[in-house]
Amino acid sequence: MKTQIELAGKGIVTPQIKCVAEAEKQDAESIRARVATGEIVIVHHPGRPNQKAVGIGTGLRTKVNASIGTSSDICDIEAEVSKAEAAQEEGADTLMELSAGGDLDAIRRSVLAGVDLPVGNVPLYQAFKETALKYRNPAKLDPEFLFDLIEKQLDDGISFMAIHCGINRHSLERLRNQGYRYGGLVSKGGTFMVAWMDANNKENPLYEQFDRVCALMKKYDAVLSLGNGIRAGAIHDSHDRAQMAEMIINCELAELGREMGCQMMVEGPGHVPLDEIKGNIMLQKRMSGNAPYYVLGPLPLDTGAGYDHVTAAIGAASSARYGADLICYITPAEHLALPNEADVREGVRTTRLAVRIGDVAKYPDRREGEKLAALARRDMRWEDLEKYLLFPDKAKQIRVEREPENAKTCTMCGDFCAMQKGMEVFENDIKGDKISK
């Protein structure tokens, strides 16, 4: 099977590229050219005919990923499927199934059957969990089992995988030499791979056999998302030597993977103070040849638990503004508990709002909707206003619950309405975009 990047390199506009071009309201040939250079990836799975193709990368709308999954403490397949469906209903573009408890094959297949979003995962979760169950020691992981598992998951319908290829002995040496970290290690897959390397005194097989990883991904035209296993878990660790060593390796691997005909993304960066986000994205784009950047959060503060969906939204808006391409949502439960369905809905909505803010700054030509919303608000055309809002249901609920005496105004100002008074004064002076009544 030829991959999207290989076909695009031969000048072929695939049905998936056409689908992305239509969704983005862009020329298909322009999309094809950026797929050919690896600046855009097309996330889809040939074995899931009803799944929509999603484009991620340069010049496209910033996408939102929602993550779900069980833990060893809470494992309910029906609840995970409901969360997946909720994420899709709320407008997530992709989904990651990150279960680490229960029957992982059954959970993955149930989620895949429940949504038509592209679904990704982290294969190391299942690899280490099943190894621990079998041997009572995850460090006994057999690399051959890991590669077999990757193929099984791809065959089930996984469209993209976060695979921790960038962790190697060099990056671990940086971690030791700097005296570990304030925030420790926060990537489950990355940390267990670090522990495996330490216990076995061996190189990471995902790094050592990177060509084999790419061959598996190519077989299913899946996107290889280079996992950020040593990402910072505290802003005081942001851009330390260990994180930068992994970023450099991942950017090199992104280039190698593209040369092999594999679609590639790079992940990062975790907890990053607001003033460092622009530099982080510039470094990733420069070193990776403008590969799509999948940003986890980022969280520009360590003290926001309970409201970390808001903390992350601030980081996400800045990330989208400076060129991030896919943002992984954060829910109110982050750092505290496994998210429930309400958390998933709130996380998707908050992140969609954040990336819209970033995209409006990044692409000034996309501000027309904001202007139309402003005009409807100015003219107190409430039903028209709902058409332009990201969350019209929430806006309508609030307005209905606090219905004003005068239907043209709202209960914020009532008879003392600035909009109404302004229109009385300037209605005859309005030029351009005048709304007829």
Return the residue matching tokens 């319908």. 157
**Residues 353 and 372 reside in one and the same domain:** no
CATH classification at residue 304? 3.20.20.540
Closest CA to 375 of 385, 366, 367, 365: 385
Please name the residues in contact with 44: beta carbons below 8 A apart, sequence gap of 6 or more.
Answer: 16, 51, 52, 53, 54, 118, 159, 221
**Residues 355 and 385 reside in one and the same domain:** no
Residue 430 has pLDDT above 90, yes or no: no
**Residues 133 and 224 reside in one and the same domain:** yes
Q: How far apart are CA 111 and CA 127, in angstroms?
A: 19
Residue 155 lies in a domain: yes
Question: Residue range 306-323: average pLDDT?
Answer: 98
Residue 49 has pLDDT above 90, yes or no: no
pTM of the model: 0.96
Return the residue matching tokens 């976060």. 162
Domain limits for position 394: 367-428
**Residues 315 and 385 reside in one and the same domain:** no
Residue 407 lies in a domain: yes
Taking residue 244's Cβ as centre, other Cβ atoms within 10 Å add up to 17
Q: What is the pLDDT of residues 290-312, one digit of tens each?
A: 999 999 989 999 999 999 999 99
Alpha helices in 115-184 (DSSP H): 123-135, 143-156, 169-177
Taking residue 54's Cβ as centre, other Cβ atoms within 10 Å add up to 24
Residue 437 has pLDDT above 50, yes or no: no
Residues in the chain: 437
Residue 416's pLDDT is: 92
Residue 423's pLDDT is: 87
Q: Quote the tokens at residue 301.
A: 């503060």
Residue 49 lies in a domain: yes
**Residues 359 and 375 reside in one and the same domain:** no
Band of the pLDDT at 436, cuts 50, 70, 90? very low
**Residues 373 and 349 reside in one and the same domain:** no
**Residues 304 and 392 reside in one and the same domain:** no
Question: Residue range 359-379: average pLDDT?
Answer: 93
Residue 259 lies in a domain: yes
**Residues 245 and 160 reside in one and the same domain:** yes
Band of the pLDDT at 21, cuts 50, 70, 90? very high
Residue 432's pLDDT is: 66
State which H helix or E strand residue 407 sits in: none
Residue 222 lies in a domain: yes
Question: Residue range 306-331: average pLDDT?
Answer: 98
Q: In the chain, pLDDT over 70 holds for what percent of residues? A: 99
Band of the pLDDT at 359, cuts 50, 70, 90? very high
Q: How far apart are CA 170 and CA 237, in angstroms?
A: 18
Band of the pLDDT at 65, cuts 50, 70, 90? very high
Q: What is the pLDDT of residues 384-395, one digit of tens each?
A: 999 999 999 999
Residue 115's pLDDT is: 96
Tally of domains in the chain: 2
Lowest mean pLDDT among 76-85, 128-137, 418-427: 418-427
Question: Residue range 399-410: average pLDDT?
Answer: 90
Residue 407 has pLDDT above 90, yes or no: no
Closest CA to 291 of 253, 254, 323, 326: 254
| Mean pLDDT (the chain, rounded) | 96
Directed axis angle between helix 188-200 and helix 123-135, to 10°? 50
Residue 368 has pLDDT above 80, yes or no: yes
**Residues 296 and 392 reside in one and the same domain:** no
Residue 47 lies in a domain: yes
Do 264 and 202 meet the contact criterion of CB atoms below 8 Å apart? Answer: no
Cis peptide before 118 (omega within 30 of 0): no
Residue 424 has pLDDT above 90, yes or no: no
**Residues 103 and 39 reside in one and the same domain:** yes
Residue 434 lies in a domain: no
Return the residue matching tokens 């660790």. 237
Q: How far apart are CA 362 and CA 295, in angstroms?
A: 16
**Residues 21 and 80 reside in one and the same domain:** yes
Final residue belonging to a domain, choices 341, 365, 389: 365
Pairing, β 119-121 against β 40-43: unpaired
Residue 132 lies in a domain: yes
Residue 434's pLDDT is: 64
Final residue belonging to a domain, choices 365, 388, 404: 365
Lowest mean pLDDT among 321-330, 359-368, 428-437: 428-437
**Residues 195 and 304 reside in one and the same domain:** yes
CA atoms within 13 A on the CB side of 216: 23
